[in-house]
């Protein structure tokens, strides 16, 4: 890790902006992803944010993670949103999720009823390697958190993998975090929503962000249809698995689970716990990703629609996440790199990595997860490429990401059509916390992950 004195001047002001952004979004124990658009605590955001906090407010990193796990359900599920305090500026809020009083719910905090990709094990592994990670406070905290993260992973393996394949399913596109990725279009479009309520007037996101940059009203109707179905099923995973029209073995979610399992093994060793159960889970998931989600003909990884029993043949940036998991052969790596440099960039001099391949008909350069560049994906891609020995490409992704942030600021996502004559633009909300937090990690920490 470089000390702040070694940070080049140009990056020092970026660092300052990143810290100001995180400070501005801090709320007495946790960080909002952005005050305008996301006024609560979100699950995977919180993990990335904790990593950024570790560089300059490490005690806040502990508070951030502890606050997130206040929402953990008794069955181990870590919800995607903790509604610590009421705020009318978000839809769907706790009155829509209706999780209060559930026997398996959180005894401490109002929450949503679905999860998000597991990040806390690898975030804590990375913080453990920083100087702060050597302190007694942090080591005690790792002991406190280990059983909770283990319970989170166990929930996924016992509730979300009905056939014991080693692949967990998501029951809502919001669980992958790549909300309106075209990979979910066919499954969502197949839902019969005739007669279901129109929720468009309830949306709050369109008050601050251009509708062209957000999911459509037709999308939202289906998103809420699923939430209502979960309520009807009492949020019981086995009932949902039987009844829901949407069950997807998501490639990003399962790859991040593998990376988290690997880190959880390291944390287990640090606290003197047995890691054999985690290693068994992980071996199954690695094998299943390469058996079921790799398409040899396309040379790419795809998610699998478990409800309709078919691979989702649509190229999105999620297909690169097995690199982050470190599970690709050299041949697979090379084919992925081909796709990356040819189909996930809008032209010569433009930036990696579009969230949907440019040659997919659904590609849209400004619409959320249908084309724009995301900092967290680029961060995982950087580490995945490095892990597989593609150092130059990995460094390119890092430099481009920092340049985008430096030029435009801490936006949620970016129009990928950047060239020397046409600078890209920041999209979604500004002052976005994970863009700030991961900028700090990219600047301050050159260790591989």
For ligand DGY, the binding residues in 47-66 under the rule CB under 6 A are: none
Contact flag: residue 80 with ligand DGY (CB under 6 A): yes
Shortest reach from residue 81's CB to ligand DGY, in Å: 6
Smallest CA-to-CA distance from 46 within 115, 129, 133, 131 is with 115
- Selecting among 179, 277, 360, 430, the annotated active-site residue is 179
CA distance 335 to 300: 7
Verify whether residue 228 is a known catalytic residue. no
- Kindly state the number of chain residues that form the binding site for ligand DGY, as judged by CB under 6 A: 3
Pick 21 or 219: Cβ nearer ligand DGY = 219
Shortest reach from residue 354's CB to ligand DGY, in Å: 19
Contact flag: residue 222 with ligand DGY (CB under 6 A): no
Shortest reach from residue 80's CB to ligand DGY, in Å: 6
**CA distance from start to end of the chain:** 12
Instruction: Report the greatest alpha carbon distance in the chain.
Output: 62
Pick 80 or 382: Cβ nearer ligand DGY = 80
Contact flag: residue 174 with ligand DGY (CB under 6 A): yes
Among 179, 185, 406, 430, binds ligand DGY (CB under 6 A): 179
Contact flag: residue 432 with ligand DGY (CB under 6 A): no
Q: Is 421 helix (H, G, I), strand (E, B) or coil?
A: coil
Pick 205 or 415: Cβ nearer ligand DGY = 205
Instruction: Write the DSSP assignment of 279-306 as a string of letters.
Output: HHHHHHHHHHIIIIIEETTTTEE--EET
CA distance 259 to 147: 17
- Selecting among 45, 64, 250, 412, the annotated active-site residue is 412
Give the C-alpha distances (Å, rounded to integers) separating 332 from 254, 328, 329, 392, 448: 17, 6, 5, 18, 21
Shortest reach from residue 249's CB to ligand DGY, in Å: 20
Shortest reach from residue 117's CB to ligand DGY, in Å: 12
Q: How many residues does the chain have?
A: 449
Pick 11 or 170: Cβ nearer ligand DGY = 170
Pick 80 or 387: Cβ nearer ligand DGY = 80
Q: In what order do the strands lie in the sheet with 373-374?
A: 373-374, 413-414, 426-427
CA distance 83 to 71: 9
Verify whether residue 95 is a known catalytic residue. no
> Are 3 and 41 within 8 A, CB to CB?
no
Residue nearest to ligand DGY (CB): 174
Residues with active-site annotation: 179, 412
Binding site residues, ligand DGY, CB under 6 A: 80, 174, 179
């Amino acid at each position: 890790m470089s000390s702040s004195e070694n940070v080049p001047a140009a990056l020092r002001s970026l660092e300052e902006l990143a810290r100001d952004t995180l400070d501005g979004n801090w709320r007495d124990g946790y960080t909002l992803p952005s005050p305008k658009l996301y006024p609560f605590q979100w699950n995977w955001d919180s993990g990335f944010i904790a990593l950024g906090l570790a560089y300059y407010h490490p005690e806040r990193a502990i508070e951030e993670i502890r606050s997130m796990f206040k929402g953990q359900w008794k069955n181990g599920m870590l919800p995607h949103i903790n509604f610590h305090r009421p705020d009318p500026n978000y839809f769907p809020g706790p009155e829509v999720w209706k999780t209060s009083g559930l026997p398996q719910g959180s005894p401490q905090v109002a929450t949503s009823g679905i999860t998000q990709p597991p990040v806390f094990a690898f975030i804590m592994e990375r913080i453990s390697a920083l100087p702060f990670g050597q302190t007694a406070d942090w080591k005690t905290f790792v002991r406190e958190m280990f059983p909770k993260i283990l319970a989170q992973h166990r929930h996924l393996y016992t509730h979300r993998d009905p056939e014991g394949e080693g692949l967990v399913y998501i029951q809502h596109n919001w669980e992958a975090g790549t909300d309106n990725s075209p990979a979910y279009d066919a499954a969502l479009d197949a839902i019969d929503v005739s007669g279901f309520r129109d929720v468009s007037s309830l949306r709050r996101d369109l008050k601050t962000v251009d509708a062209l940059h957000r999911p459509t009203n037709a999308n939202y109707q289906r998103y809420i249809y699923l939430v209502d179905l979960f309520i009807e099923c009492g949020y019981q995973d086995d009932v949902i698995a039987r009844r829901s029209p949407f069950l997807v073995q998501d490639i990003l979610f399962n790859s991040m689970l593998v990376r988290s399992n690997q880190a959880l093994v390291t944390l287990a060793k640090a606290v003197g716990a047995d890691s054999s159960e985690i290693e068994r889970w992980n071996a199954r998931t690695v094998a299943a990703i390469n058996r079921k989600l790799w398409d040899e003909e396309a040379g790419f990884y795809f998610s699998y629609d478990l409800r309709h029993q078919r691979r989702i043949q649509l190229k999105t940036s999620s297909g690169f996440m097995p690199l982050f998991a470190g599970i690709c052969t050299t041949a697979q790596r090379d084919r992925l790199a081909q796709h990356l440099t040819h189909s996930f960039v809008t032209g010569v001099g433009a930036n990696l990595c579009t969230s949907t391949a440019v040659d997919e008909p659904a590609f849209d350069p400004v619409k959320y997860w249908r084309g724009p560049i995301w900092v967290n994906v680029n961060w995982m891609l950087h580490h995945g490429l490095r892990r597989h020995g593609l150092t130059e490409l990995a460094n390119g992704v890092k430099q481009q990401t920092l340049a985008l942030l430096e030029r435009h600021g801490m936006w949620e996502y970016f129009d990928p059509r950047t060239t020397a004559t046409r600078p890209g633009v920041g999209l979604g909300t500004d002052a976005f916390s994970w863009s700030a937090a991961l900028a700090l990690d990219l600047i301050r920490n050159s260790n591989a992950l």
